[in-house]
Amino acid sequence: MSEPKIAGTAPVVLKLERGVYFWCACGRSETQPWCDGSHAGSGIKPMTVEVAAKSTLALCVCKQTGDKPRCDGSHSKL
C-alpha cells in the first residue's frame, strides 16, 4: 500500500447536508476532500462518511489526521 499524498495544509470546512459521502484517503483526488477514483492502484480506499443531520465539518486534506476524516490539526506539524 502507498502512503497518502498531502493534498493541502489546511482543512476544508464544509456545510454538509444529510447523506453519504466518500472522503479521499489517498490525497490524489482532484475534487478534495471527496474521492474521484484517483486512488485506483494505490492500495488506499476512500472512507465512507455518513452525515446523519445537516452539519459543518472540518475535513482533513493533509491525510495525516488521527481522526479520519476530520481535521485534528496534524497539518500544523508538516
Band (pLDDT 50/70/90 cuts) for residue 22 is very high
Percent share of the chain, pLDDT over 90:
96
Amino acid at position 10, single letter:
A
What is the distance between the alpha carbons of residues 35 and 70, in angstroms, rounded to a whole number?
Answer: 15
Mean pLDDT of the region 28-51: 96
Helical (H) or strand (E) element with 19 = strand 19-23
Give Cα separations from 25 to 2, 20, 38, 53 (angstroms). 11, 16, 10, 23
Ordered by start, the domain boundaries in the chain are 12-77
Report which DSSP code applies to 42: S
Q: What is the tens place of the pLDDT at every residue in 51-67?
A: 999 999 999 999 999 99
**pTM, 2 dp:** 0.93
Q: What is the tens place of the pLDDT at every residue in 1-14?
A: 689 999 999 999 99
Question: Do residues 5 and 63 touch, judged by C-beta distance below 8 A?
Answer: yes
